[in-house]
Amino acid sequence: MAVRIHFTDDDLAQTRLAQAPDPMWEALLSMHMLQTDTASFVFGGWRQAVRRRLTAPLGALLRFAPPAGYSADFLTPAAGAGGLEAGAGALLSTPRRRLAHDLAELARAGRRLPSWAGRLAAGDADAVRHLGRLHRHWFATALAPWWSRIRSRFDTERALHGRYLAEGDLEGLLNTLHPGLVWRRPVLELTGLGVDRDVHLDGRGLLVLPSYFCWRRPTLLKDPALPCVVVYPMPHESALNATTGLRSLNALLGRTRAEILETVAGRGVTTTELAHDTGIAPATASHHIGILRKAGLLSTCRAGRVVLHTVTPLGLALLDGR
């Protein structure tokens, strides 16, 4: 069983890799993650911290996002690609038909909904604003304290794959994203979802979105009429230990290493590119990269024929003054 996404030539030309993490998708998928005990080696500390701060109203919000089966599509508007403010605004502007449709889908699946869900389905303005407030509360509670880490992992992932698009190698991109995504031109298959259906893009193109809280397998919206987004799990550096990193910060003393850290932040670079950008010899750049990597501040990984260096969450925290 698989979801098969059919591309035309126009769809291929419009396929793109997200520029930044989507706060609406991360919110939804983090709601899923909180309601399970999976991946404790990655999310255990986060889960404990959020559960300590969870309030009853936020518990009601979770009913729109059960960890298995259907979740309300209105929680992930396409405008979320533009950031939290754009996504939250789109959530408040959700058409009444979409609210009613998605809540009916949840009810058909036997989900117990909050007492105010009926008013929300009818498009009641107060209920919609209440939904918006709860969503912002969720982001502040479960995502904002970890957002720099999420962004850092996203930047690393985008650096790994963005070069395929820069070189016009779309098939190379689609073939290397995740084992659960199988590209057989002109069809992209999503496996492991337990459903069997075909999605025809018909010129709409595809947005490929790496996600921090997506786990094990890629996913997408149920309604094929909505903008098509394929969300897939980013790999996690679960072995990164902030305490160990802090003990190693003495290795960073010196202007050259600080400049290297600033140069690498937000993008992936090769050793040659880094040497050129900082005005030092490649051998010197390689030496400093090794020290920063041992300190837990840089990460190195292979993308095709090149080796890229990116900043870790600890390195980003240091640059942010934390």
Mean per-residue pLDDT of the chain: 86
**Could you tell me the CA-to-CA distances from 98 to 12, 195, 199, 273 in Å, in that order?**
28, 22, 20, 48
pTM comes to 0.74
Domain-located, residue 14: yes
pLDDT in tens, 158-202: 888 877 877 778 888 888 888 888 898 899 999 777 788 999 999
Task: State whether 227 and 298 are in the same domain.
Answer: no
Better pLDDT: 150 or 318: 150
Q: Which residues contact 27 (CB under 8 A, 6 or more apart)?
A: 75, 135, 138, 139, 142, 143
Taking only Cα atoms into account, the Rg of the chain, rounded to an integer number of angstroms, comes to 21
Nearest Cα to 298, choosing from 277, 270, 275?
270
Q: Quick one: pLDDT band at residue 239, thresholds 50, 70, 90?
A: very low
H helical segments located in 185-310: 242-247, 255-264, 271-278, 282-294
Task: State whether 136 and 250 are in the same domain.
Answer: no
Instruction: State the CATH number of the domain containing residue 256.
Output: 1.10.10.10
Q: Quick one: pLDDT band at residue 233, thresholds 50, 70, 90?
A: very high
Q: What is the spatial distance between Cα 98 and Cα 250, in angstroms, rounded to a whole number?
A: 55
Task: State whether 270 and 304 are in the same domain.
Answer: yes
Full residue range of the structural domain in which residue 294 is found: 242-319
Task: State whether 132 and 170 are in the same domain.
Answer: no
- In this structure, which amino acid lies at residue 95? P
C-beta separation of 21 from 232 below 8 A: no
Q: Is the pLDDT of residue 242 over 60?
A: no
Domain-located, residue 151: no
Average pLDDT over every residue of 293-305: 84
Task: State whether 261 and 228 are in the same domain.
Answer: no
pLDDT of the residue at 252: 58
> How many structural domains does the chain have?
3
